[in-house]
Structure 1
Amino acid sequence: MHDIGLTALDLGLRGAASGLFTMMVLVLIRLRPANPHAVLGLVMSAGGAGFAIATAPFIPTSTFWWTLPLLSAQPVVFWLWARAAFDDDFALRPWHGAVWLAVVVLGFTASLSWPIWPAVTKACAKGLSVLALAFALLAILQTVTTWRDDLVARRRLLRMAVVILNLGFITFVAGPALLPLPGAVLGAAANSGGLGSFIVAFTLCILAMLASWNLFGANAVAALPTPAVVAASVVDPPQDTEPGLSERPAVAPLLLRRLDHLMRVERIYRQEGLSIGGLAAQLNVPEYRLRQAINEGLGHRNFSAFLNRYRLDDAKAALSDPGQRDVPILTIAIDAGFQSIGPFNRAFKAATAMTPSEFRRQALVAMATETENRRIRQAD
């Protein structure tokens, strides 16, 4: 394609991307989100719009210089966004902000040291490139490792898009084109046009479409504390009016009853290494039907969380049993289906706000008190 045509396409894609990013920023500011997923989406959208403009052809190189410190930390934001999007238990921690700030400081060092210490700038730029690759790989790792347990069909599709997008970023941006320094001023190649710039613009546009699809989808907006008027303007149409949804099979009550029998009566959750595929095989149903039943019929978004609900109930019953007061907590955790004490302790505290030892102590004291009160009533 002729250079002029390629540049025109480049600018068009960047315009579309920056427009989508800006629209998301405005909507999210209006919604005043509090959950980490939406907050990180706001920061990512603002950075995406800035990067699309600052690295566009014909934009002065000085613009890239002064926006570099913040733009260089976008891989950190994207990694945190992936964690918040795909991990229902994710919470922002102070050290996440410290990592972001450290990358920003490195970006400022690279930007401000160029006129005086070009060697320092080159070293910092290489460090930023390595960090960008590392956080892209971390985003892929986060997306893939929890993919199997994800029960939300829409989110599973989003995972696939995130993996493809990050692979494209690693191949075309973070490696050869993120911070090209040899023989050129920092950022000059980023906004000089050509095939490399077009690939960056195309990647940004895909990212913008992906992020907007995720933001304006019903599942995403439902989690935000949105005013009714605003929510009505951004939520997808009601489920019963979505095209093709009437052809989707409803969750069968018989399947839910069979699943409940397996979990409550046969206690299959105690089985070591139980996977959703293995559970589907025992129920003799396709895996996607079981995912739909657990997600839409029972309200669980994650298979491990679904299993842990029964495992924790089992463990709490054992911890409250006076006849098992001398049974080690590790034994109770293993019997309930947990593989080790660490995940059990974390899941138990998240569900009860107490450690297993504290729960056992309080439960046994309460039971002893109730027994004594009953004895006194009978004596009277």
Structure 2
Amino acid sequence: MGLTAIDLGLRGAASGVFLLIILVALQRRATSQQALLGMAMSAGGAFYAIATAPYFPKSSWWWVLPILSGQPALFWLWARAAFDDDFVLRRWHRAVLLGIVAFGFALTLGWAYTPALARVGGQGLALLNLALALAAAVQTVKTWRADLVARRRRLRLAILAINVGLITVFVGAGFAAIPVAVPGAPGSLPVALVLCVVAMMAAVTSLATPPAVPANDATAAIASGDVRGADRAATARVVVDPILLRRLDQLMSVERTYRQEGLAIGALAARLQVPEHRLRQAINEGLGYRNFNAYLNHYRIEDAKLALSDVTQREVPVLTIAMDAGFQSIGPFNRAFKAETGLTPTEFRREALSRPVLADIGEPQREIG
């Protein structure tokens, strides 16, 4: 009974923290896809903590288990939104989540009539959830290098490891006698402890996040020659060396280092002769960028916009302009350009070249003779 009481206490604490995360997000009126998916993940975590607790009524398993089976898919979407700044939640993502939950209901309802078929379906569902967990892991590791947010870099791997561990246990139960994990099964106390740790880490990640700073404030100040404005923007949240910001802007605006193929933040730090963590801090906390690729794309898109607006480059293919600006393929260029301008490169060029030239309007006419 003592271990059961500890188990229930840990689950209660985890559920309370998850609910607190939801309440804080609602109070902040967070509407981003990461915030919405985070609230859904928190609700799922609280539900999982309660539904897998000892003494939870077995009569409720038929509707509890299908909902729990959708948690790996929800975690996959949350990981994409949290760790990939370019991720956009689409209809087919929602369809995958709803499809998994619907399939889970079909398995639980069909278990009493066709147990052999339901067992095979449960194993297939377990493999699908494992694939989603691995996809989230690959995406998280893939974008880790370009991540500029120090807190997110420190916590993402720990959160990922714990969640993937839970999903692996959950998936392993899919190859047991029932298609999904049995609530209240032996080993409940370790699961409760892990849930409590996950809840605490999620709270640190979401509740301790500082307010966002508009990107490009220091960039605009430096580009306009406003050194004091650059200094103020650099010290808005933390003390960032304004000299480093000006040297960085010199490399980007004058030397056009962003055009270098495969430019990585480590190579840029070596060129500036500063530690990589200082450069990450300068770009993130001094200029407001969360991702190194987004920082490079800011300059690359501006470069491409100038080329697309140039009448003398009317016949230059868009791919050539993209490659000259530093992009390695047309797909990422088109996505980044439309996200920045709301237009495709071809539409932008068409509008830019169709504008009349008004350079001489307003100038006084000179008399001859």
TM-score w.r.t. length of structure 1? 0.83
Please state whether the residue corresponding to 1:149 is helix, strand or coil. Answer: coil
- 1:192 aligns to 2:185 (yes or no): yes
C-alpha contact 2:7 2:193 (8 A) present in aligned 1: yes
**Unaligned residue ranges in structure 2 (runs of 5+):** 214-236
Matches within 5 A, 1:358-373: 358-366=347-355, 368-371=356-359, 373=361
Please state whether the residue corresponding to 2:357 is helix, strand or coil. Answer: helix
Q: Given the alignment, which residue of 100, 106, 112 partners 1:115?
A: 112
Tell me how far apart the structure 1 counterparts of residues 367 and 109 of structure 2 sit (CA, whole Å): 84
Tell me how far apart the structure 2 counterparts of residues 252 and 188 of structure 1 sit (CA, whole Å): 53
- Give the aligned length: 346
| Deviation (angstroms), 1:180 | 5.9
- 1:250 aligns to 2:250 (yes or no): no
Per-residue displacement from partner, 1:264-314 (whole Å, max 9, x unpaired)?
Answer: 111111111100000000000000000000011111111001001111111
Is the deviation greater in 85-94 or in 20-29?
20-29
- 1:335 aligns to 2:331 (yes or no): no
Tell me how far apart the structure 1 counterparts of residues 275 and 176 of structure 2 sit (CA, whole Å): 53
| Deviation (angstroms), 1:327 | 1.6
C-alpha contact 1:109 1:124 (8 A) present in aligned 2: no
Please name the residue that 1:213 is paired with.
204
Q: Given the alignment, which residue of 180, 187, 195 partners 1:204?
A: 195
Instruction: Give the superposed CA RMSD.
Output: 2.6
C-alpha contact 1:272 1:337 (8 A) present in aligned 2: yes
| Deviation (angstroms), 1:30 | 4.3
| Deviation (angstroms), 1:105 | 0.7
TM-score w.r.t. length of structure 2? 0.86
Matches within 5 A, 1:76-225: 76-171=73-168, 173-177=169-173, 179=174, 181-182=176-177, 189-193=182-186, 195=187, 197-219=188-210
Per-residue displacement from partner, 1:144-192 (whole Å, max 9, x unpaired)?
Answer: 1111111110111121222321342254x13434x4633xx66684413
Per-residue displacement from partner, 1:344-372 (whole Å, max 9, x unpaired)?
Answer: 11111111111212212222222x43257
**Unaligned residue ranges in structure 1 (runs of 5+):** 224-247
Per-residue displacement from partner, 1:223-269 (whole Å, max 9, x unpaired)?
Answer: 9xxxxxxxxxxxxxxxxxxxxxxxx9821111111111111111111
User: Closer, same or farther in 2 for the Cα pair 1:144/1:373, shift >3 Å?
Assistant: same
Q: Given the alignment, which residue of 42, 47, 50 partners 2:44?
A: 47
Please state whether the residue corresponding to 1:354 is helix, strand or coil. Answer: coil
C-alpha contact 1:65 1:186 (8 A) present in aligned 2: no
Percent of paired sites with the same residue: 57
C-alpha contact 1:180 1:189 (8 A) present in aligned 2: no
Tell me how far apart the structure 2 counterparts of residues 188 and 218 of structure 1 sit (CA, whole Å): 33
User: Closer, same or farther in 2 for the Cα pair 1:202/1:134, shift >3 Å?
Assistant: farther
